[in-house]
Amino acid sequence: MDIKNKKIMFLGFGAVAKCVLHYFSHYFVFNKNRVVLVDKSKNAFTPNLRFKKIVLAVDATNFTDLVDSLGFKRHDIIIDLTTSTVTYYFIKMCLLRGFHYINTSIEDVNDAMLGTSIDCQQKMVQSIASRYPKKSTVLTECGQNPGLIQHYILHAFKQMHSMKNKGKCTKKAIQKVITDFKVGSILMSEIDNMVATTPLKPSIIYNTWSVSGYLFEATDKTELVRGKTNTFVQPYIAPHKISNTTKIYEKMCDSDYDVLFMKENAMKTTLNSICPVLTSSGNVEFVNYRGKLIHHGEIFEMARYFGENAPFMSYVYKNSPYVDQTIEDYKKSFQADDDDIWLYVNQENNFKIFDGKEASGHDSIGCTIFCGEKEVERIFWCGSILSSADVSPEYTPTIVQVAVGVLSGLSFIVEHQDLGWIEPTDIDNDYMLQKSVPLLGKFFFKEIPIDQFKGPIKF
């Protein structure tokens, strides 16, 4: 796709941005002289980067001056891969000025004032977007999770629909799959199977992707969703439900689905799910595992898509063991505890993201679909297993999976201009998979033989 006539700005140049830029030529023909990289830290840039580089903490006081100084015009592109910045303001200005825009998460610096609810974040963006004309396309939360994983669900449901029905698979037909198969729960399932190949340094928190991004998510309250009328098999969580008291959020709660907030943060809240992994011989094997409940935007977007019959949905993440290990070591070194580890999320000198030469293995990510009236009767999986052998050696599979979502979403933006604000489910499912699957390693849909798991499946 030829975009040589467009200026392109990367806001934030961390590991994901570097990976997106690395694979950019797989998707686009572009002019390197029209690309600018912006990051608040000069350490983000290496001397061999032959692009325009700007060290700047971009916020509402300087964003307009920045784009004007660079000569940005309508339909130029902004790729926002920052965390805890003025995301709502960026979105507003891109809609107002007609810049194409994409991000992987909302995570506005002011979200603490709104209760840090992702459901609330999405509704805030919807409110902002409704006030501006469609002069460009703004796509939010389009990485891997959220982003591509919504399309794993839609692809799985299309395959399930074809098992019982003939004809075109419309949105209404996809929604009907819930009743046809008694879908009570969809767990976004991920197991990070990367293994460090170099010694770990003391007083450093390690991860296979953004450390600060993980800490923001993992130290936030767990947020779940379920449709108001779905009565099929679901985890039993009622004793842990609490109400959200944020006044702004209360005004946005009139939905077909219930949003549930847990008492504990995601680091302390876990659930069982099933996910495939690669064995030492390279075969695929499904395993039952326990993972952390990280809240992501995909569950709320899918809840709106499915309506009042939406299944129970959450993310179940078995993160890299090095995250847990080095967080515990870090807490001992700095006398931190479980309640104040979030104070350290911006200490970039104490964080380390593995590159592909420091860790190898694979990452499994997808959706596990549990069907049944009162207990699990059938299970389906759709997703990606990406290994180090499949990706450029500079990057871990986890980061590549995110980058592929960004690049696939950006492809749609430049082909479909002036749509205003859209979400990943607004993109045609076949288009999204066509753009992403070539870089996703082993991508497949499969029914999991339930007899592999002795006794009834317990969440």
pLDDT tens-digit map of 318-364: 999 998 898 888 888 888 777 777 676 666 678 888 888 898 999 99
pLDDT tens-digit map of 186-202: 999 999 999 999 888 88
Q: Which CATH number fits domain 148-399+441-452: 3.40.50.460, 3.40.47.10, 3.40.50.10800, 3.30.360.30?
A: 3.30.360.30
In 338-454, alpha helices (H)? 397-415, 429-436
Q: How far, in Å, CA of 105 to CA of 407, rounded?
A: 15
Residue 96 has pLDDT above 80, yes or no: yes
- The residues, any chain, with a CB within 8 Å of residue 68's CB and separated by 6 or more, are none
DSSP string computed for 282-330: S-EEEEEEEEE----THHHHHHHHHGGGPPEEEEEEE--HHHHHHHHHH
- The residues, any chain, with a CB within 8 Å of residue 134's CB and separated by 6 or more, are 418, 419, 420
Q: How far, in Å, CA of 101 to CA of 137, rounded?
A: 7
Residue 111 has pLDDT above 90, yes or no: no
Contact in structure between 16 and 34 (CB atoms under 8 Å): no
Q: Domain boundaries in the chain?
A: 8-139, 148-399+441-452
Among 162-171, 240-249, 311-320, the range of highest mean pLDDT: 311-320
Query: What residue has token string 């060290």?
Result: 55
CATH number of the domain at 8-139, please?
A: 3.40.50.720
Contact in structure between 8 and 30 (CB atoms under 8 Å): yes
